[in-house]
Each structure stands twice: as structure tokens, then as C-alpha cells.
Amino acid sequence: MTGKVKIAVLVSGGGTNLQALLDAEKSGVIRSGKIALVISNKPGAYALQRAQAAGVKTAVVNKKECLSQAEFEARIVSLIEENGVELIILAGFMCILSENFTRRYEKRILNVHPSLIPSFCGEGMYGLRVHEAALAKGVKVTGATVHFVNEIPDGGEILLQKAVDVLPGDTPETLQRRVMEQAEWLLLPRAAELVSAKILEE
């Protein structure tokens, strides 16, 4: 035992939120947890290279190679169990997880969503779509939310939120970048530390 909670980060793309977590572990923001495993559902995800550069073990569970959702999740579960993972963080993971999976790891799965839930969230609301919707609505403030994951997309208990101003002339891309820099990259490591510390106390 290292005295730290083992964390698995599930990714699908570039891994900017993963990088924020890796940096936070290095700088001591995350003290109670250790990123032990990065799992991607896409073989070519750049996030895997970020993990390897940081010396973190990686694995790929390609959904296209699985016959069913159950098989896809079973492969992820076996990786989590084999590696003694106690906390799962979804960092731009573009697959919905079933109730079977989320119940198994109740209050042990974190996700960051690029809006102030309950605004602009739920099924189909991810990535740039969220920021497009916020701009279309004309909101003056948006932000990010870290929440526990349950069977309802973006429906779990909220842990942390941070507001970010919408500026005149914002595009979905500029807004996305600002929300990442000012909210997501700060909240996700903070939440990882909070939950890891709590697990250690159990």
C-alpha cells in the first residue's frame, strides 16, 4: 500500500483534462490519490501518449471490438479490479455507462461537465454542443460542474461548480477554451483530491 487511492482515468480524445490531473498530481494538488491507469475506448487517442509520457499504465478497450455494452463494460471492470483502482474519473470519455456499471462504483465515479448543471446537460450534450447551446440561449455566465456519475447522464450528485463569464463575441471554441482553463482544469483535480481523501478515511 502506498497510502494513496489508485485512480483510473477514462478518456476518448486529446486528454486535456487528463493532463490537468497529471499536472495536479505532480504539483501536489492531488496528494491522496495516484493516477495508476488510463483507459481509452479509442486506440489512437492522444490522451494515451500523455499518460505514457507521465509513466502511467495505459489500456485500450475498443467498443467496436465488443459485441455488446455488457462486454465493453466487463473489460473495463476487469482492468479496474486487476489494478486495484478505487476511484474512476471520466475525462472526456465519450461513452455512456450503464446502470449496472455506475451502481457497482457508486460515489466512486467522477465526471466534469462543461456547464453549470442543470443547464445544458443530459443526453447528447457534450463537447462543443454544450457551448453552442449556451451561446444560442444568450446566457451571460456558464461554467463547469464536477459530479458523481449515476445512470442518468449528468444526473449525479454535484460536488463542485465554478462560474465562467461569457464574453461578447465568444464562439463555441473560445468559450470552450475559457471554461476549460478557468473551471474544468481547476475543479477536476480538486474533486479528485476531495474524494480520494474521503476514501482514505473510510
- d(C-alpha 90, C-alpha 188), whole Å: 10
Mean pLDDT of 43-63: 97
Q: pLDDT tens for residues 138-160?
A: 999 999 999 999 999 999 999 99
Domain span at residue 195? 5-201
Give the number of other Cβ atoms within 10 Å of residue 97's Cβ: 23
CB 162 within 8 A of CB 183: yes
Which of 50, 75, 113, 131 is labelled catalytic?
113
pLDDT digits (tens, 9 = 90+) for 4-30: 999 999 999 999 999 999 999 999 999
Query: 3-state SS of 40-106?
Result: ECCCCCHHHHHHHHCCCEEEECCHHHCCCHHHHHHHHHHHHHHCCCCEEEECCCCCCCCHHHHHHCC
131 is catalytic: no
For 181-199, what is the mean pLDDT?
A: 98
The DSSP symbol for 38 reads E
Q: How many domains does the chain have?
A: 1
Q: How far apart are CA 34 and CA 31, in angstroms?
A: 8
pLDDT digits (tens, 9 = 90+) for 82-125: 999 999 999 999 998 999 999 999 999 999 999 999 999 998 89
Percentage of the chain beyond pLDDT 70 is 99
Q: Express as a percent the part of the chain with pLDDT over 90.
A: 96
Contacts 24+ apart (CB under 8 A), 96-103: 96/123, 96/153, 97/73, 97/149, 98/69, 98/70, 98/73, 98/151, 99/150, 99/151, 100/70, 100/73, 101/73, 101/76, 101/77, 102/149, 102/150, 102/151, 102/156, 103/151
**CATH code where residue 12 lies:** 3.40.50.170
Q: Where does the pLDDT of residue 2 fall: very low under 50, low under 70, confident under 90, or very high at 90 and above?
A: low
